[in-house]
Amino acid sequence: MSLAYAVTDSRIMITRCLRRSRRDPEAFFTALMLPIILMLLFVYVFGGELKDSGSYVDYVVPGLIVLCAGFGAGTTAVALAADMAGGIVDRFRSMPIRASSILLGQVAASLTRNLLATALVIGVGLGIGWRPTTSVWHWLGAAAMIVLFILALSWLAAAVGLLAGGPEAANSFTFVLMFLPYVSTAFVPTHTMPAVLRGFAENQPFTPIIETMRGLWMGHTSTGASLGHEAWIAVAYGLGILAVSWAGATWLFRRRSAA
């Protein structure tokens, strides 16, 4: 089986997954509206109270990116779980195609959906007065961080989708991912939290990832640690989650489909 065939197979799978997400009006609408509504909600409803230094929109953009990516990853987990529960994966696997292209299609579609949501968050943020004080290089760095983070999260979602018994079970993953950012520096700095929560918030993976984006865009982090320090931890977390999830998802896929 040549590389060209593998590329074709993956491309067809990606097209299928994207078509499916485009045609699910409820999920599509939510995915588009979520970044906009959350942005307006946080900045105009909570932002007045939370503002301690500068404009709250400057603080909150990385957190919203992470929150929306969490929602998107949940969608991916549900989509893959639904595929595994139906008969179509059996048909694909009985055809002379790369089995890995089935997973690759879901992950690539997830990446595409989430990058669009991220672009929307950034667009709305810029629209309501977010002014990152930064260079092109910092922008590229932030973009790389986002891609790594979303890729890792998409593979994690794939693993969860394969682990879950069905789409409903996979859906609880969305809840976890949408809850975790609240216990990080996404919306408020950790020094406002009680000690127990602070310990968790400062050490969970979302915090260094958010702080890296914040540092790259705004020139300073909210934890007081240096950008270099946060970035190093963030990249380690990103690559770690990516590697473990990729291996896990591949193994689970082979195991589940060979049962």
Partner 1 sequence: MYAVYRLSMPYTVVAEGIRKSFGGRAVLDGVDLTLERGSVLGLLGPNGAGKTTLVRILATLVRPDGGRATIAGHDLAADPVGVRGVISLTGQYAAVDDVLTGRENLEMMAGLLHLPRRARRARVAELLVEFGLTDAQDRRVGTYSGGMRRRLDLAASMIRCPELLFLDEPTTGLDPRSREQLWHTVRRLAEQAVTILLTTQYLEEADQLADTVAMLTGGRIVARGTPDELKSSLGAEIVRLRFPDVRAFRTALAAGGATRAGAAAGALIAEDADEQALTIDIATDGSATRLRELLTAVAATGAASPRVSTHRPSLDDVFLSLTAAAPSTPEPRRVPEPAP
User: Rule CB under 8 A: which residues touch partner 1?
Assistant: 1, 5, 8-9, 12, 15-16, 19-20, 23-24, 86-88, 90-97, 257-259
Instruction: Compute the least distance from the CB of residue 157 to partner 1, in Å.
Output: 19
- What are the strands, taking DSSP E only, across 123-234? none
- Which is closer to partner 1, CB of 64 or CB of 102? 102
Least distance to partner 1 from the beta carbon of 243, Å? 27
Closest distance of CB 171 from partner 1, Å: 18
Nearer to partner 1, 10 or 190 (CB): 10
DSSP three-state, residue 130: coil
Sequence-separated contacts (24+) of 242-249 with Cβ below 8 Å: 242/148, 242/151, 242/152, 242/155, 245/152, 245/155, 245/156, 245/158, 245/159, 246/155, 248/159, 249/103, 249/155, 249/158, 249/159, 249/162
- Please say which residue, 94 or 137, places its beta carbon nearer to partner 1: 94
Token code pair at residue 105? 């299609």
Quote the least distance from Cβ 94 to partner 1, whole Å.
4
Pick from 141, 172, 140: nearest CA to 74: 172
- For partner 1, the closer of residues 23 and 194 by Cβ is 23
